[in-house]
């Protein structure tokens, strides 16, 4: 829910005062009987425009340095008016706080007020990341008649147990940062360390896809702490929300962090210690295509696109599909070996030892972090993590072939300990020939919660006994390139991303302090491999060989898609060649008329890959024959 530096990342350095945008400051009446201040940015004073609405808890004045979505300070050339409001009880509306009133009602009131203004066409879309994204769901839930569409980034409305207690361990740095930002949720979370009726009620109240009745473009990042929440929201809305005819929800997943500190944010090229130039600016360009279709009625074939667009890291390409996760991966076991390798065959039974001192935890370096004092995204784990003694590592051999991962990896371990309770923390990294070990994702499981998160599910360990435990990691799309390796790091801590287990089996958070260390014990743990204890990493592997180099997302449109047989192709580029391939990689005979259409009505129903060669490169489009 951070936005401070994320917003500043949308600006280009420090701007002179004379260049600051000067909006109209307007008080609009609310249904609560008072008025709230908003900033109105109009391209000119004589026309009417579709409107992009932004509601922020972080000071609307920051946008005077430049508006998002590529508008910056070129307001006069914009096709949209932009309206920005501070949340009730924040900044310009600080004195207007009403306890217990959610953000959705003010959003409803503001949308309908905008629709009544002479400078508005009556079509309104919302935009914004993190907290600015969450409020869009609350506004949409109220169903204002003139709200047309929404673009929430790295956001979801859910307040779910496992988002704050990952594997049963408190997300220390996330909760800390939310308190710093003024959301005040620590008390609720710390009072409910087990899944209970409180969590059940909160979760049911915060999941309302059937109330979402406008199309949404949900944008997420593979390095974001909200990755699974974004995908879950897209999935539930796709299944349960009722949309206007001819519209649908879309999901865009890029190689991005959450943003909020540092130089990484949604749409930037730089992400941690890596760079993704093919991801730069895509979140803005796709959002504007979405807005143009829904707010300006531009026939840009937006709804002909497949609903899921995602970035395959490593291959550095944008791909499309009908769903996430994709349905053509093969779960592949990589067994942990006594020699520290990961192999597809099992090994002889053995065990490897790793220890943990709560007073000296393994440090958090990068990943899906949030707190202002932590770096975000892919960072090398060698200097500060892998140089320590309190870990064991396993890695694949250097391969001559690419390893394409699409979906959620799972880690299944057999663990023993000399204490009643401990944590199993994992990091998955890509190892480059120069020795860098760049984090892809991490996860954790508190052993007392290995059977579930209710208090009745908890069970302590008996020293020396071996217990199975599983960790489901978050979704990703990454290709471990030939010449690189995949590494699994196993520790018992990852701090401050997760709370430190004191290993004593006692109260986890004395005094409701989510970061307390009281009577900690040193622990020696073992991961057992081979034989009857086949610890393994399960990877969703794409072996279809359908990943084709693309030069730019959305350059080619294929519609209608799905189709019973006849497809149309539209492109700004001249076609040099058009080919069709099935998911096994076999090329099929294609009757293409050079007028922009082709017919595969004689083919079996299923998914095919259309390969379109232009002067700038080859772009692949997934098509569905119904």
Supply the pTM of this predicted model: 0.89
- pLDDT tens string 367-411: 999 999 999 999 999 999 999 999 999 999 998 899 999 999 999
Q: Does residue 240 lie in a domain region?
A: no
State the pairing for strand pair 606-614/617-625: antiparallel
Q: Does residue 192 lie in a domain region?
A: no
- pLDDT tens string 121-159: 999 999 999 999 999 999 999 999 999 999 999 999 999
Q: Does residue 125 lie in a domain region?
A: yes
**Domain check: are 415 and 443 in the same one?**
yes
Task: Map 25-46 to HEC letters.
Answer: EEEEECCCCCEEEEEEECCCCC
Total number of domains constituting the chain: 3
What does the buried/exposed string (b/e) look like for 446-472 if buried means 16 or more CB atoms within 10 Å of the residue's CB? bbbbbeebeeeebeebeeeebbebebb
Q: Residue 523: pLDDT above 80?
A: yes
User: 140-144, 165-169, 551-555: which has the minimum mean pLDDT?
Assistant: 551-555
The predicted structure's pLDDT at residue 549: 40
**Domain check: are 456 and 565 in the same one?**
no
Q: 117, 149, 181 — which closes off a domain?
A: 149
Q: 149, 165, 192 — which closes off a domain?
A: 149
**Domain check: are 474 and 574 in the same one?**
no
Q: Does residue 113 lie in a domain region?
A: yes
Q: Which residues contact 445 (CB under 8 A, 6 or more apart)?
A: 167, 168, 169, 423, 424, 469, 470, 471
Q: Residue 90: pLDDT above 70?
A: yes
The predicted structure's pLDDT at residue 14: 40
What's the rounded Cα separation, in Å, for the pair 320 and 558?
12
Q: Which CATH number does the domain housing residue 454 bear?
A: 2.60.120.260
Q: Does residue 215 lie in a domain region?
A: no
Q: Residue 618: pLDDT above 80?
A: no
**Domain check: are 522 and 594 in the same one?**
no
Q: Does residue 208 lie in a domain region?
A: no
Q: Which structure tokens are listed for 260?
A: 């909020």
Q: Which residues contact 375 (CB under 8 A, 6 or more apart)?
A: 262, 272, 365, 366, 369
Q: 149, 175, 204 — which closes off a domain?
A: 149
**Domain check: are 585 and 442 in the same one?**
no
**Domain check: are 20 and 62 in the same one?**
yes
Does a cis peptide bond (omega within 30 degrees of 0) precede residue 325?
yes
Q: CB of 541 within 8 A of CB of 404?
A: yes
**Domain check: are 568 and 432 in the same one?**
no
The predicted structure's pLDDT at residue 19: 81
Q: Which structure tokens are listed for 376?
A: 């975000």
Q: Which CATH number does the domain housing residue 597 bear?
A: 2.60.40.10
What's the rounded Cα separation, in Å, for the pair 249 and 534?
41
The predicted structure's pLDDT at residue 617: 61
Residue 6: pLDDT band (50, 70, 90) is very low
**Domain check: are 339 and 462 in the same one?**
yes
Q: What is the mean pLDDT of the chain?
A: 92
Q: Residue 573: pLDDT above 90?
A: no
Residue 517: count other Cβ atoms within 10 Å of its Cβ.
14
Q: Which of 145, 157, 151 is nearest to 302 (CA)?
A: 151
What does the buried/exposed string (b/e) look like for 56-89 if buried means 16 or more CB atoms within 10 Å of the residue's CB? bbbbbebbbbbbbbebbeebeebebbbbbbbbbb
What's the rounded Cα separation, in Å, for the pair 601 and 302?
24
What's the rounded Cα separation, in Å, for the pair 519 and 551?
57
Q: Which structure tokens are listed for 42?
A: 């109009």
Q: Which structure tokens are listed for 215?
A: 């199309």
**Domain check: are 564 and 504 in the same one?**
no
Q: Which CATH number does the domain housing residue 143 bear?
A: 3.40.50.1820
**Domain check: are 382 and 416 in the same one?**
yes
Q: Does residue 416 lie in a domain region?
A: yes
The predicted structure's pLDDT at residue 416: 98
Name the phi and psi angles at 314, rounded to 5: 90, -55
What's the rounded Cα separation, in Å, for the pair 586 and 210?
41
Cα 604 to Cα 174, 432, 594, 622: the distances in Å are: 49, 42, 23, 15
What's the rounded Cα separation, in Å, for the pair 147 and 141?
11
Cα 321 to Cα 226, 251, 306, 616: the distances in Å are: 21, 10, 6, 23
Q: Which residue has the tokens 């979370």?
A: 189
Structural domain range at position 108: 1-149
**Domain check: are 446 and 595 in the same one?**
no
Does a cis peptide bond (omega within 30 degrees of 0) precede residue 562?
yes
Q: Which of 415, 437, 397 is nearest to 272 (CA)?
A: 437
**Domain check: are 461 and 610 in the same one?**
no
What would you report as the CA-atom Rg of the chain, rounded to the nearest whole angstrom?
25
Q: What is the rounded average pLDDT of the residues 281-302? A: 94
What's the rounded Cα separation, in Å, for the pair 514 and 534?
34
Q: Does residue 218 lie in a domain region?
A: no
The predicted structure's pLDDT at residue 441: 98
Q: Which residues contact 568 (CB under 8 A, 6 or more apart)?
A: 558, 559, 560, 596, 597
Q: Which residue has the tokens 């008080």?
A: 27
Question: Which SS3 state, helix, strand or coil, does residue 552 take?
Answer: coil
């Amino acid at each position: 829910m951070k936005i401070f530096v994320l917003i500043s990342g949308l600006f280009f350095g420090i701007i002179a005062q004379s260049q600051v945008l000067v909006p109209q400051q307007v008080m609009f009446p609310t249904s609560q009987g008072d008025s709230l201040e908003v900033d109105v940015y109009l391209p000119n004073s004589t026309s009417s425009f579709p409107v992009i609405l932004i509601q922020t808890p972080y000071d609307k004045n920051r946008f005077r340095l430049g508006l998002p979505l590529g508008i910056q300070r070129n307001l006069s050339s914009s096709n949209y008016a932009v309206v920005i409001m501070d949340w009730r009880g924040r900044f310009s509306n600080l004195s207007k706080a009403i306890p217990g009133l959610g953000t959705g009602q003010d959003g409803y009131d503001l949308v309908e007020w905008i629709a009544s203004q002479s400078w508005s066409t009556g079509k309104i879309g919302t935009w914004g990341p993190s907290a600015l994204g969450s409020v869009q769901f609350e506004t949409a839930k109220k169903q204002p008649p003139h709200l047309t569409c929404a673009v929430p980034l790295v956001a979801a409305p859910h307040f779910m147990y496992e988002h704050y207690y990952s594997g049963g361990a408190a997300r220390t740095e996330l909760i800390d940062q939310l308190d710093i930002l003024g959301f005040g949720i620590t008390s609720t979370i710390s009072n409910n360390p087990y899944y209970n009726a409180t969590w059940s009620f909160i979760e049911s109240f915060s999941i309302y896809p059937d109330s979402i009745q406008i199309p949404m473009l949900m944008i997420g990042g593979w390095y974001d702490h909200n990755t699974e929440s974004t995908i879950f929201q897209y999935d539930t809305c796709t299944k349960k929300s009722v949309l206007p005819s001819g519209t649908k929800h879309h999901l865009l997943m890029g190689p991005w962090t959450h943003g909020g500190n540092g130089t990484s944010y949604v749409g930037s090229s730089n992400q941690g210690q890596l760079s993704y130039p093919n991801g730069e600016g895509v979140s803005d360009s796709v959002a504007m295509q979405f807005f143009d279709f829904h707010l300006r009625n531009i026939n840009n074939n937006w709804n002909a696109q497949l609903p899921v667009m995602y970035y395959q890291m490593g291959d550095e390409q944008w791909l499309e599909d009908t769903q996430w996760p994709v349905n053509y991966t093969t779960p592949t076991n990589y067994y942990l070996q006594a020699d520290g390798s990961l192999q597809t065959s099992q090994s002889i039974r053995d065990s490897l030892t790793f220890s943990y001192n709560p007073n000296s935890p393994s440090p958090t370096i990068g990943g899906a972090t949030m707190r202002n004092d932590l770096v975000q995204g892919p960072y090398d784990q060698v200097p500060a993590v892998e140089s320590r003694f309190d870990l064991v590592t396993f890695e694949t051999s250097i391969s001559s072939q690419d390893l394409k991962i699409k979906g959620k990896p799972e880690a299944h371990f057999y663990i023993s300990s000399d204490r009643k309770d401990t944590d199993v923390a994992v990091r998955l990294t890509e190892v480059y020939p120069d020795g860098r070990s760049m984090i892809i994702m991490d996860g954790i499981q508190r052993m007392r919660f290995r059977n579930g998160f209710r208090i009745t599910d908890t069970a302590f360990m008996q020293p020396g006994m071996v217990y199975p435990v599983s960790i489901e990691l978050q979704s990703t799309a990454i290709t471990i390139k030939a010449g690189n390796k995949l590494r699994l790091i196993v520790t018992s801590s990852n701090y401050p991303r997760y709370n430190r287990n004191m290993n004593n089996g006692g109260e986890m958070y004395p005094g409701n302090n989510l970061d307390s260390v009281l009577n900690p014990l040193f622990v020696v743990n073992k991961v057992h491999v081979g034989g009857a204890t086949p610890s393994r990493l399960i990877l969703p592997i794409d072996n279809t060989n359908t990943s084709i180099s693309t030069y730019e997302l959305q350059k080619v449109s294929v519609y209608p898609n799905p189709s019973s047989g006849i497809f149309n192709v539209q492109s700004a580029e001249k076609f040099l060649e058009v080919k069709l391939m099935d998911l096994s990689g076999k090329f099929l005979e294609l009757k293409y008329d050079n007028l922009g259409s082709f017919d595969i009505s004689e083919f079996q129903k299923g998914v095919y890959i259309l390969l379109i060669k232009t002067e700038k490169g080859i772009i692949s489009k997934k098509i569905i024959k119904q």
